[in-house]
A and B are shown apart, each in its own frame.
Chain A
Amino acid sequence: MTPTPTASDGLGTLAGEAFAAYLRGDRERLSELVDLVTPVLWNAARAQGVSPATCEDAMQTAFLQLVARADSINEPAAVLGWLVVVVKREAWRLSRGSRREIGVEEVPEAPAQQLDPEAQSILTERQRLLWQHISQLSPRCQELVRVIAFADRPDYAALAASLGMPVGSIGPTRGRCLQKLRTTLGADTGWAV
């Protein structure tokens, strides 16, 4: 199910291929696209601190816009990033009860990640430890790390850009967020196996 991270076929590439095939008339390939990108989109939406129902609405809107505007999307290969941008904007718009669309230039900053008490209670010891370390990162890094974790190495840079991070903030270099995570986990003797 999870695509193996290789240099050539990251999640974004696979999604782009499925979408390009759909545009050429292979209707069923859109299902494959939905299967591929749903984990990333769900986490991109949930990272905005909005309810599961709102996330679902935001994702549905993004997919419907994709279908409605399919012919005008110039770069099928960039479909993953396009969807992440729309999902994030929709999650914000819906959670504010706002009727107006959020401007393209306006990229809201995600809040610190939260897990509800019920979710926290089912974590393993090791996951609890990791959660403590993630919580130490800046909110922007928490959002970035959460979203790229559901994609592959070749996708990191494009996903960072879609989330509104500066170009060059990650991939192919580690960037500050992954460096922070690495340092804080590396310094924890309880984390080292």
Chain B
Amino acid sequence: MSSHSEAIDERDVVNLRSVRDLFAHADPVPSDLTERMKFAISVQALHAEVAELIDSALLVTRGPETAVEPTPTDSVTFTAASVSVMVSWGASDTSGTGERVRVDGWVTTPGAQVEAVTADGSRSATSDTNGRFVLDDLPHGPIHFLVTNPANLDNRPVITPTIQI
């Protein structure tokens, strides 16, 4: 006969694991909920301006006739008061298996620092004199960008909405 004043034992832990499986199955956490939370936190913590998603165009689609060009490329433009950013992405050359993603971008500010925040953490690049930047070897999945201008710290950082690459 067990009592409520005894120590929690393995059986209780197994029972609770069943309870967890039940609720995780019947009422799961929405899959992108953590990304939305992290985004909201970043915006507040950085006093950032949220860029608007302007354009989402499928530039090249994979088709039976495009065997020589097997890289589907998508492109998106974000705009904010101080800056606009265009990014396009496709399979990275580093893996050859399409497991990693290369992002080619262009920002209206030369010398801007562009930070890509992914499930793997964050990676930075600085735009060249033409505003171009490259971020290679990124994981597929949710990503957002944080753009700061080291030459003009009076401007608020700009954060883009999260997109899937």
Contact = CB atoms under 8 A, between A and B. Distances in A.
A89 B5 CA distance: 30
A149 B11 contact: no
B4 A173 contact: yes
A30 B45 CA distance: 11
B4 A119 contact: no
B19 interface: yes
Contact of B13 (A56, A68, A134, A153): A153
B121 A28 contact: yes
Interface in A85-122: 115, 119-120, 122
A67 B3 contact: no
Contacts of A52: 30
Output the residue of B5, B18, B122 with the most chain A CB within 10 A.
B18
B8 A127 contact: no
A149 B16 contact: yes
A182 B12 contact: yes
Contacts of B44: 64, 67-68
B153 interface: no
Interface string A21-64: 00000011011001100110011001000001000100110011
User: Which range contains the number of A residues in contact with the other chain?
Assistant: 35 or more
Interface in B1-52: 2-9, 11-13, 15-27, 29-30, 33-34, 36-38, 40-41, 44-45
Given A63-B40, A171-B8, A174-B7, A38 B34 contact: yes
A134 B8 contact: no
A89 B129 CA distance: 51
Given A28-B121, A34-B37, A63-B41, A5 B13 contact: yes
Interface of B: 2-9, 11-13, 15-27, 29-30, 33-34, 36-38, 40-41, 44-45, 121-122
Given A30-B45, A178-B4, 20 more contacts: A31-B38, A34-B38, A34-B41, A38-B34, A43-B23, A46-B27, A60-B36, A63-B37, A64-B40, A126-B18, A130-B19, A145-B16, A149-B23, A173-B8, A174-B5, A176-B4, A178-B12, A178-B16, A181-B12, A185-B15
Interface of A: 5, 27-28, 30-31, 34-35, 38-39, 42-43, 46, 52, 56, 59-60, 63-64, 67-68, 115, 119-120, 122-124, 126-127, 130-131, 134, 145-146, 148-150, 153, 156, 170-176, 178-179, 181-183, 185
25 contacts: A28-B121, A38-B29, A38-B37, A42-B33, A56-B30, A56-B36, A68-B44, A119-B26, A119-B27, A122-B26, A131-B26, A145-B16, A145-B19, A146-B23, A149-B16, A149-B20, A150-B24, A153-B8, A178-B15, A178-B16, A182-B2, A182-B12, A182-B15, A183-B2, A185-B15
